[in-house]
Structure 1
């Protein structure tokens, strides 16, 4: 069942990314410029990572990368990242446009289907161990890297992936304030995730002890 779910997750994630890439390229005036723009979104970064995660665990779980992805802290971190992709979209970005047809399918796949599938996978199939609350700080590395990349790219091109980090319209003070709010959300949800993870870990330990005693 675990392998089946991994295959489902991989198919869903690769389908979502490739469909969105196809749509982006189809209507692009400059394919090179559009490709660069396409890979500037946190949604795409995170869905690709989830797709690679599933694929590696299916095809080569014993490799160095496979062992890295098998670490409970990494699996929990991926849950944090993909859930925040969905939350930011549905709470902040969804009302900014009204996709139709293939765009709607790609949009929902990236922001709803893949996050929900990974949430279920993490709950029922991922290995868990007790995590330190300092993990919430470690998990900030990824969004910090993304924000720095977006600001550098924007300073060069004048284009920013999301309106709440658009320096051209907001200025650096407001943009950095917005970025700090995003990082705070990652941190708070990261702490909550550690709490839930440790509760589940304790429950699994109790269940195993009961089975042994019986």
Structure 2
């Protein structure tokens, strides 16, 4: 991941993430007029937190910061962006009419990153570095987010996504949705580990 092409690609992906989050921030700020309130609203969403994750990890790759430019962190970003794209398409698509900054943020975070981040992993990340134990890292991110969202919702009675709104749909449906998303996340994570191993073996065989 230290090649010039990889660093340029990483910088462009980090820029997409930054612009997506910034566009969303500008849109929300236009409604609230308050920077702290806007920040509080923004960090409620898995999409925005994932955008920040991508910004940090891919910014680190572009700037050659080894501690953060790790294959397992890139893989975590791959899974998170795929989850963002799939959940938006399957559960949230069409619920709101988006314009201006909200539309720009939607395109960059929900559509561009779920394509660009996996392609970067395929093209530039060294293979054979993932293991089954990395599933714990992969799963910890959405699980921590779920706990954070439920605690936050209990505090201010607001939930960022309708399928996590305990007040409206109850604990049973929320648990079902969360369980299905967690299972999908782990399933795709396991598939990513298997693909990583297969690509590593192919490279050895061809080399």
1:9-54, Cα deviation, whole Å (9 max, x unpaired): 1111111111110111012265533321111100000110101112
- Change over 3 Å in CA distance of 1:101–1:29 after alignment to 2: closer
Deviates more, 1:114-123 or 1:146-155: 114-123
Partner residue of 2:146? 147
CA change 1:122–1:152 in 2 (3 A) is: same
Q: How does 1:1-214 map to 2 (within 5 A)?
A: 1-28=5-32, 31-59=35-63, 61=64, 66-208=65-207
Is residue 58–residue 69 contact of structure 2 (8 Å, CA) maintained in 1? no
Residue aligned with 1:195, SS: helix
Q: Which runs of 5+ in 2 are unaligned?
A: none
In 1: Cα distance, 2:41 partner to 2:161 partner: 11
Contact 1:137 1:187 in 2 (8 A): no
Stretches of structure 1 lacking an aligned partner (at least 5 in a row): 209-214
Deviations, residues 63-102 of structure 1 (Å, cap 9, x unaligned): xxx3333332222122111111111111211121121333
Runs of 4+ in structure 1 displaced over 4 angstroms? none
Range 39-48 or range 26-35, more displaced = 26-35
Write the distance in 1 (CA, Å) between the matches of 2:9 and 2:66.
19
Aligned partners of 1:72 and 1:129 also within 8 Å: no
Aligned length: 203
Separation in 2, partners of 1:30, 1:72: 37
Instruction: Tell me which structure has the larger Cα radius of gyration.
Output: 1
Question: Could you tell me how far apart the structure 2 residues matched to 1:25 and 1:129 are?
Answer: 44
1:134 to partner: Cα distance: 3.4
Counterparts of 1:70 and 1:32 in 2: how far apart (Å)? 30
- Taking the aligned partners of 1:182 and 1:44, their CA distance within structure 2 comes to 18
Shift of 1:115: 2.0
Which deviates more from structure 2 when the two are superposed, residues 148-157 or residues 137-146? 137-146
CA contact (8 A) 1:13 1:51 kept: yes
In 2, Cα distance between the equivalents of 1:38 and 1:191?
A: 30
Q: Which residue of structure 2 lines up, in the alignment, with residue 211 of structure 1?
A: none
**DSSP 3-state at the match of 1:96:** coil
